[in-house]
Protein backbone atom coordinates (compact mmCIF):
# COMPACT_ATOMS: atom_id res chain seq x y z
CA UNK A 1 0.00 0.00 0.00
CA UNK A 2 1.42 3.35 -1.08
CA UNK A 3 0.17 6.86 -0.30
CA UNK A 4 1.39 10.27 -1.39
CA UNK A 5 0.24 13.90 -1.31
CA UNK A 6 -0.22 13.30 2.41
CA UNK A 7 0.27 15.48 5.47
CA UNK A 8 2.32 13.22 7.72
CA UNK A 9 2.14 13.98 11.45
CA UNK A 10 5.39 12.85 13.04
CA UNK A 11 6.58 13.15 16.64
CA UNK A 12 8.36 16.45 16.15
CA UNK A 13 7.38 17.71 12.73
CA UNK A 14 4.78 17.69 10.00
CA UNK A 15 5.75 16.65 6.48
CA UNK A 16 3.59 18.40 3.91
CA UNK A 17 3.16 16.65 0.57
CA UNK A 18 4.69 13.50 1.98
CA UNK A 19 4.53 9.84 1.08
CA UNK A 20 4.19 6.66 3.12
CA UNK A 21 4.70 3.05 2.08
CA UNK A 22 3.27 0.04 3.92
CA UNK A 23 4.63 -3.47 3.55
CA UNK A 24 3.69 -6.59 5.49
CA UNK A 25 1.58 -4.62 7.93
CA UNK A 26 4.33 -2.19 8.90
CA UNK A 27 5.52 1.23 7.83
CA UNK A 28 8.28 0.62 5.29
CA UNK A 29 9.10 4.17 4.22
CA UNK A 30 8.28 7.79 4.99
CA UNK A 31 9.45 10.74 2.94
CA UNK A 32 8.80 13.95 1.08
CA UNK A 33 7.29 14.33 -2.37
CA UNK A 34 5.16 12.12 -4.61
CA UNK A 35 6.00 8.55 -5.56
CA UNK A 36 4.95 6.21 -8.35
CA UNK A 37 1.90 3.94 -8.13
CA UNK A 38 0.53 5.66 -5.04
CA UNK A 39 -2.94 6.64 -3.87
CA UNK A 40 -3.15 10.41 -3.42
CA UNK A 41 -4.51 11.48 -0.05
CA UNK A 42 -5.06 15.00 -1.41
CA UNK A 43 -3.42 16.63 1.59
CA UNK A 44 -5.26 14.66 4.27
CA UNK A 45 -3.49 14.26 7.60
CA UNK A 46 -1.99 10.91 8.55
CA UNK A 47 -1.75 10.27 12.30
CA UNK A 48 -0.71 7.13 14.14
CA UNK A 49 -3.85 5.18 15.01
CA UNK A 50 -5.45 6.59 18.14
CA UNK A 51 -5.23 4.76 21.48
CA UNK A 52 -8.15 5.32 23.86
CA UNK A 53 -7.09 4.47 27.40
CA UNK A 54 -10.52 5.15 28.90
CA UNK A 55 -13.61 3.89 27.09
CA UNK A 56 -16.60 2.05 28.53
CA UNK A 57 -18.77 1.46 25.49
CA UNK A 58 -20.21 2.48 22.13
CA UNK A 59 -22.94 1.57 19.67
CA UNK A 60 -25.28 0.18 22.34
CA UNK A 61 -22.67 -2.07 23.97
CA UNK A 62 -20.58 -1.82 27.13
CA UNK A 63 -17.48 -3.71 28.23
CA UNK A 64 -19.35 -4.51 31.45
CA UNK A 65 -21.90 -6.53 29.44
CA UNK A 66 -19.63 -9.52 29.85
CA UNK A 67 -19.83 -11.18 26.43
CA UNK A 68 -17.83 -11.34 23.21
CA UNK A 69 -20.54 -9.75 21.11
CA UNK A 70 -20.56 -6.57 23.20
CA UNK A 71 -16.77 -6.40 23.26
CA UNK A 72 -16.59 -6.79 19.49
CA UNK A 73 -19.31 -4.20 18.96
CA UNK A 74 -17.37 -1.54 20.85
CA UNK A 75 -14.05 -2.40 19.21
CA UNK A 76 -15.59 -2.23 15.76
CA UNK A 77 -17.52 0.99 16.39
CA UNK A 78 -14.46 3.05 17.33
CA UNK A 79 -12.81 2.48 13.96
CA UNK A 80 -15.06 5.31 12.73
CA UNK A 81 -13.14 7.82 14.84
CA UNK A 82 -9.61 6.69 13.97
CA UNK A 83 -9.13 4.58 17.10
CA UNK A 84 -7.07 1.47 16.47
CA UNK A 85 -6.49 0.32 20.07
CA UNK A 86 -8.13 0.70 23.49
CA UNK A 87 -7.98 -0.21 27.12
CA UNK A 88 -11.38 -1.75 27.80
CA UNK A 89 -12.67 0.12 30.85
CA UNK A 90 -14.82 -1.36 33.59
CA UNK A 91 -17.12 0.31 36.14
CA UNK A 92 -17.82 0.15 39.85
CA UNK A 93 -20.40 -2.59 40.35
CA UNK A 94 -20.95 -5.54 42.63
CA UNK A 95 -17.93 -7.80 42.75
CA UNK A 96 -19.69 -10.67 40.88
CA UNK A 97 -20.65 -8.31 38.02
CA UNK A 98 -17.09 -6.97 37.79
CA UNK A 99 -15.73 -10.51 37.82
CA UNK A 100 -18.08 -11.55 35.03
CA UNK A 101 -16.88 -8.65 32.88
CA UNK A 102 -13.21 -9.35 33.64
CA UNK A 103 -13.66 -13.02 32.81
CA UNK A 104 -15.15 -12.16 29.42
CA UNK A 105 -12.42 -9.62 28.68
CA UNK A 106 -9.77 -12.09 29.79
CA UNK A 107 -11.07 -14.76 27.43
CA UNK A 108 -11.65 -12.40 24.50
CA UNK A 109 -9.76 -13.33 21.33
CA UNK A 110 -8.93 -10.46 19.01
CA UNK A 111 -11.39 -10.29 16.12
CA UNK A 112 -10.42 -9.14 12.63
CA UNK A 113 -11.43 -5.67 11.49
CA UNK A 114 -11.67 -4.42 15.08
CA UNK A 115 -9.55 -2.13 17.19
CA UNK A 116 -7.01 -3.95 19.33
CA UNK A 117 -7.74 -4.45 23.01
CA UNK A 118 -4.37 -3.71 24.61
CA UNK A 119 -5.61 -4.52 28.08
CA UNK A 120 -8.10 -3.51 30.75
CA UNK A 121 -8.56 -0.26 32.65
CA UNK A 122 -10.11 -1.10 36.01
CA UNK A 123 -12.00 2.04 37.06
CA UNK A 124 -13.32 1.24 40.50
CA UNK A 125 -14.44 -0.12 42.81
CA UNK A 126 -11.48 1.25 44.85
CA UNK A 127 -12.65 4.87 44.83
CA UNK A 128 -13.73 7.61 47.23
CA UNK A 129 -17.39 7.92 48.13
CA UNK A 130 -16.83 11.69 48.27
CA UNK A 131 -16.30 11.84 44.50
CA UNK A 132 -18.19 8.94 42.90
CA UNK A 133 -19.19 10.90 39.79
CA UNK A 134 -21.38 8.51 37.80
CA UNK A 135 -19.96 5.48 39.60
CA UNK A 136 -22.38 3.69 41.95
CA UNK A 137 -21.21 4.73 45.43
CA UNK A 138 -23.04 1.78 46.99
CA UNK A 139 -20.46 -0.58 45.49
CA UNK A 140 -17.30 1.39 46.28
CA UNK A 141 -14.94 -0.61 48.52
CA UNK A 142 -11.34 -0.29 49.75
CA UNK A 143 -8.79 -2.17 47.72
CA UNK A 144 -7.19 -5.33 49.00
CA UNK A 145 -4.52 -7.52 47.53
CA UNK A 146 -6.57 -10.72 47.50
CA UNK A 147 -9.45 -9.11 45.61
CA UNK A 148 -7.13 -7.65 42.99
CA UNK A 149 -5.30 -10.96 42.65
CA UNK A 150 -8.63 -12.64 41.90
CA UNK A 151 -9.58 -9.89 39.44
CA UNK A 152 -6.27 -10.20 37.60
CA UNK A 153 -6.53 -13.99 37.43
CA UNK A 154 -9.97 -13.77 35.83
CA UNK A 155 -8.66 -11.14 33.43
CA UNK A 156 -5.79 -13.43 32.43
CA UNK A 157 -3.29 -10.76 33.46
CA UNK A 158 -4.79 -8.14 31.14
CA UNK A 159 -5.42 -5.43 33.76
CA UNK A 160 -2.91 -2.74 32.83
CA UNK A 161 -4.33 0.36 34.53
CA UNK A 162 -6.22 0.87 37.79
CA UNK A 163 -8.01 4.09 38.71
CA UNK A 164 -8.34 4.50 42.47
CA UNK A 165 -8.44 6.98 45.33
CA UNK A 166 -5.05 6.57 47.05
CA UNK A 167 -6.11 8.29 50.27
CA UNK A 168 -8.43 5.41 51.17
CA UNK A 169 -6.07 2.56 50.28
CA UNK A 170 -3.47 0.77 52.35
CA UNK A 171 0.20 1.25 51.58
CA UNK A 172 0.47 -2.49 51.00
CA UNK A 173 -2.22 -2.44 48.34
CA UNK A 174 -0.72 0.55 46.51
CA UNK A 175 2.79 -0.90 46.62
CA UNK A 176 1.57 -4.26 45.34
CA UNK A 177 -0.02 -2.69 42.26
CA UNK A 178 3.03 -0.59 41.46
CA UNK A 179 5.39 -3.53 41.96
CA UNK A 180 3.30 -5.61 39.54
CA UNK A 181 3.79 -2.99 36.83
CA UNK A 182 0.23 -1.72 36.94
CA UNK A 183 -0.27 1.89 35.87
CA UNK A 184 -1.97 3.34 38.95
CA UNK A 185 -4.02 6.46 38.24
CA UNK A 186 -5.63 8.82 40.74
CA UNK A 187 -9.32 9.35 40.11
CA UNK A 188 -12.62 9.75 41.92
CA UNK A 189 -10.43 10.97 44.74
CA UNK A 190 -10.60 13.44 47.64
CA UNK A 191 -6.82 13.37 48.10
CA UNK A 192 -5.13 16.45 49.48
CA UNK A 193 -1.89 17.73 48.02
CA UNK A 194 0.08 15.95 50.76
CA UNK A 195 -1.73 12.69 50.00
CA UNK A 196 -0.94 13.04 46.29
CA UNK A 197 2.69 13.70 47.18
CA UNK A 198 2.72 10.50 49.25
CA UNK A 199 1.15 8.53 46.38
CA UNK A 200 3.64 10.02 43.94
CA UNK A 201 6.49 8.89 46.17
CA UNK A 202 5.10 5.35 45.84
CA UNK A 203 5.30 5.54 42.03
CA UNK A 204 1.77 6.77 41.27
CA UNK A 205 2.16 9.39 38.57
CA UNK A 206 -1.10 9.62 36.63
CA UNK A 207 -4.54 11.23 37.05
CA UNK A 208 -7.77 9.95 35.47
CA UNK A 209 -10.07 12.44 33.66
CA UNK A 210 -8.28 15.41 35.19
CA UNK A 211 -10.55 18.07 36.74
CA UNK A 212 -13.53 15.70 36.92
CA UNK A 213 -14.60 13.77 40.06
CA UNK A 214 -11.71 14.83 42.27
CA UNK A 215 -10.64 17.43 44.81
CA UNK A 216 -10.05 20.63 42.89
CA UNK A 217 -7.45 23.36 43.14
CA UNK A 218 -7.77 25.68 46.12
CA UNK A 219 -5.19 28.23 47.18
CA UNK A 220 -4.78 26.59 50.60
CA UNK A 221 -4.70 23.02 49.28
CA UNK A 222 -4.17 22.41 45.59
CA UNK A 223 -5.73 18.95 45.80
CA UNK A 224 -5.54 16.39 43.00
CA UNK A 225 -6.00 18.87 40.16
CA UNK A 226 -3.32 21.30 41.31
CA UNK A 227 -0.89 18.51 42.11
CA UNK A 228 -1.38 16.93 38.70
CA UNK A 229 -0.63 20.24 37.00
CA UNK A 230 2.27 21.12 39.31
CA UNK A 231 4.49 18.08 38.85
CA UNK A 232 6.09 17.58 35.45
CA UNK A 233 6.31 13.81 35.90
CA UNK A 234 2.56 13.30 36.36
CA UNK A 235 0.40 12.30 33.41
CA UNK A 236 -3.22 13.32 32.98
CA UNK A 237 -6.24 12.19 31.03
CA UNK A 238 -8.53 14.82 29.53
CA UNK A 239 -12.07 14.48 28.21
CA UNK A 240 -12.06 17.28 25.64
CA UNK A 241 -15.75 17.30 24.74
CA UNK A 242 -16.18 20.94 25.92
CA UNK A 243 -18.65 19.78 28.58
CA UNK A 244 -16.44 18.01 31.10
CA UNK A 245 -13.73 20.67 31.04
CA UNK A 246 -13.87 24.37 30.12
CA UNK A 247 -11.72 25.81 27.35
CA UNK A 248 -9.50 27.80 29.78
CA UNK A 249 -8.92 24.63 31.81
CA UNK A 250 -8.05 22.70 28.64
CA UNK A 251 -5.65 25.49 27.65
CA UNK A 252 -4.00 25.41 31.07
CA UNK A 253 -3.49 21.66 30.82
CA UNK A 254 -2.12 21.94 27.29
CA UNK A 255 0.35 24.57 28.47
CA UNK A 256 1.50 22.76 31.61
CA UNK A 257 1.45 19.09 30.51
CA UNK A 258 3.23 18.89 27.14
CA UNK A 259 3.91 15.26 26.36
CA UNK A 260 2.14 14.09 29.53
CA UNK A 261 -1.47 14.21 28.38
CA UNK A 262 -3.72 11.45 27.05
CA UNK A 263 -6.92 12.50 25.32
CA UNK A 264 -9.64 9.97 26.14
CA UNK A 265 -13.33 9.65 25.42
CA UNK A 266 -14.74 7.99 28.57
CA UNK A 267 -17.52 7.11 26.14
CA UNK A 268 -20.50 4.95 27.02
CA UNK A 269 -22.92 2.71 25.16
CA UNK A 270 -24.90 5.73 23.93
CA UNK A 271 -22.13 6.75 21.51
CA UNK A 272 -23.30 6.14 17.92
CA UNK A 273 -26.76 5.35 19.27
CA UNK A 274 -30.04 7.32 19.36
CA UNK A 275 -30.90 9.68 22.18
CA UNK A 276 -32.67 8.02 25.09
CA UNK A 277 -31.95 6.00 28.21
CA UNK A 278 -29.07 3.56 28.66
CA UNK A 279 -27.43 1.64 31.48
CA UNK A 280 -24.03 2.43 32.99
CA UNK A 281 -22.76 0.47 35.96
CA UNK A 282 -26.27 -0.65 36.83
CA UNK A 283 -27.60 2.92 36.78
CA UNK A 284 -29.89 4.63 34.29
CA UNK A 285 -28.28 7.38 32.22
CA UNK A 286 -29.91 9.74 29.75
CA UNK A 287 -28.41 10.74 26.39
CA UNK A 288 -29.80 14.04 25.13
CA UNK A 289 -28.19 16.63 22.91
CA UNK A 290 -24.50 15.84 23.06
CA UNK A 291 -24.20 14.90 26.73
CA UNK A 292 -24.95 11.85 28.85
CA UNK A 293 -26.10 12.32 32.44
CA UNK A 294 -27.45 10.36 35.35
CA UNK A 295 -31.07 10.95 36.30
CA UNK A 296 -29.79 13.40 38.94
CA UNK A 297 -27.90 15.46 36.36
CA UNK A 298 -24.33 14.26 36.87
CA UNK A 299 -22.25 13.85 33.71
CA UNK A 300 -21.99 10.12 33.03
CA UNK A 301 -19.21 9.53 30.56
CA UNK A 302 -19.60 10.94 27.08
CA UNK A 303 -20.45 10.31 23.46
CA UNK A 304 -17.16 11.90 22.40
CA UNK A 305 -15.18 10.62 19.44
CA UNK A 306 -11.40 10.90 19.69
CA UNK A 307 -11.20 12.68 16.33
CA UNK A 308 -13.52 15.34 17.76
CA UNK A 309 -11.41 15.62 20.91
CA UNK A 310 -8.44 16.32 18.64
CA UNK A 311 -10.37 19.00 16.75
CA UNK A 312 -11.54 20.63 19.96
CA UNK A 313 -8.02 20.81 21.39
CA UNK A 314 -6.58 22.14 18.12
CA UNK A 315 -9.25 24.79 17.60
CA UNK A 316 -9.65 25.98 21.19
CA UNK A 317 -6.13 25.71 22.63
CA UNK A 318 -3.97 25.89 19.51
CA UNK A 319 -2.34 22.55 20.25
CA UNK A 320 -0.22 21.71 17.22
CA UNK A 321 -0.43 18.48 15.26
CA UNK A 322 2.68 16.73 16.70
CA UNK A 323 1.49 17.51 20.24
CA UNK A 324 -1.95 16.17 19.36
CA UNK A 325 -0.40 12.98 18.02
CA UNK A 326 1.42 12.49 21.31
CA UNK A 327 -1.81 13.05 23.26
CA UNK A 328 -3.82 10.74 21.00
CA UNK A 329 -1.43 7.81 20.84
CA UNK A 330 2.25 8.44 21.44
CA UNK A 331 2.19 8.89 25.20
CA UNK A 332 -0.29 6.05 25.68
CA UNK A 333 2.04 3.71 23.82
CA UNK A 334 4.94 4.82 26.02
CA UNK A 335 3.01 4.23 29.24
CA UNK A 336 1.96 0.78 28.06
CA UNK A 337 5.52 -0.14 27.07
CA UNK A 338 4.56 -0.36 23.40
CA UNK A 339 6.44 2.61 21.93
CA UNK A 340 8.64 0.31 19.84
CA UNK A 341 5.51 -1.16 18.27
CA UNK A 342 2.92 1.60 17.82
CA UNK A 343 1.99 5.19 18.60
CA UNK A 344 4.28 6.94 16.10
CA UNK A 345 4.75 7.27 12.36
CA UNK A 346 8.15 5.62 12.04
CA UNK A 347 9.70 3.00 9.80
CA UNK A 348 9.31 -0.48 11.26
CA UNK A 349 6.30 0.28 13.44
CA UNK A 350 2.83 -1.15 12.97
CA UNK A 351 0.89 0.42 10.13
CA UNK A 352 -1.99 1.47 12.38
CA UNK A 353 -3.12 4.79 10.94
CA UNK A 354 -5.87 7.37 11.30
CA UNK A 355 -6.28 9.47 8.16
CA UNK A 356 -8.23 12.67 8.76
CA UNK A 357 -9.43 15.57 6.65
CA UNK A 358 -8.59 19.18 7.64
CA UNK A 359 -11.74 19.30 9.81
CA UNK A 360 -10.54 16.24 11.76
CA UNK A 361 -13.18 13.96 10.30
CA UNK A 362 -11.97 10.42 9.64
CA UNK A 363 -11.45 9.48 6.02
CA UNK A 364 -9.77 6.12 6.60
CA UNK A 365 -8.61 3.87 9.45
CA UNK A 366 -5.90 1.29 8.86
CA UNK A 367 -4.81 -1.56 11.13
CA UNK A 368 -1.78 -3.72 10.32
CA UNK A 369 -1.75 -2.26 6.83
CA UNK A 370 -5.39 -3.18 6.13
CA UNK A 371 -8.15 -0.65 5.56
CA UNK A 372 -10.73 -1.38 8.26
CA UNK A 373 -12.82 1.76 7.81
CA UNK A 374 -13.28 4.18 4.92
CA UNK A 375 -15.68 7.09 4.91
CA UNK A 376 -18.74 6.34 2.81
CA UNK A 377 -18.20 2.58 2.91
CA UNK A 378 -19.91 0.11 5.23
CA UNK A 379 -18.31 -3.09 6.51
Q: Which of the residues are catalytic?
A: 266
Q: Where are the alpha helices (DSSP H) in 78-170?
A: 95-107, 145-154
252-288 residues labelled b (16+ CB within 10 A) or e (exposed):
bbbeebeebbbbbbbbbbbbbbeeeebebbebebbbe
DSSP state of 338: -
Q: How far apart are CA 47 and CA 366, in angstroms?
A: 10
CA 167 – CA 201 distance, rounded (Å): 13
DSSP labels for 8-43? EE-SS-EEEEEEEEEETTEEEEEEES--TT-EE-TT
Helix, strand, coil percentages for the chain (3-state, nearest 5): 30, 30, 40
Strands 45-48 and 50-55, bridge-based pairing: unpaired
- Residue 182 in 3-state DSSP? coil
Amino acid sequence: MRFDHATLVLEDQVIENGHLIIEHGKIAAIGEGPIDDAVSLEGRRVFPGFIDMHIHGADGADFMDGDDEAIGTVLHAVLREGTTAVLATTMTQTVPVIERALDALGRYKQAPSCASMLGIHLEGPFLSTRYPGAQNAAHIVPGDVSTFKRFQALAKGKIRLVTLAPEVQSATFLDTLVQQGIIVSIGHSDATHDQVVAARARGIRRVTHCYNAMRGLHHRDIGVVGSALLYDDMDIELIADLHHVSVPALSLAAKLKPGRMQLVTDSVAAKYGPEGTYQLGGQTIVYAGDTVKTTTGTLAGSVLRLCDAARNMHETTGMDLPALSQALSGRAAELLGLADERGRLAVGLKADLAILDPLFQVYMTIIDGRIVYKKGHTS
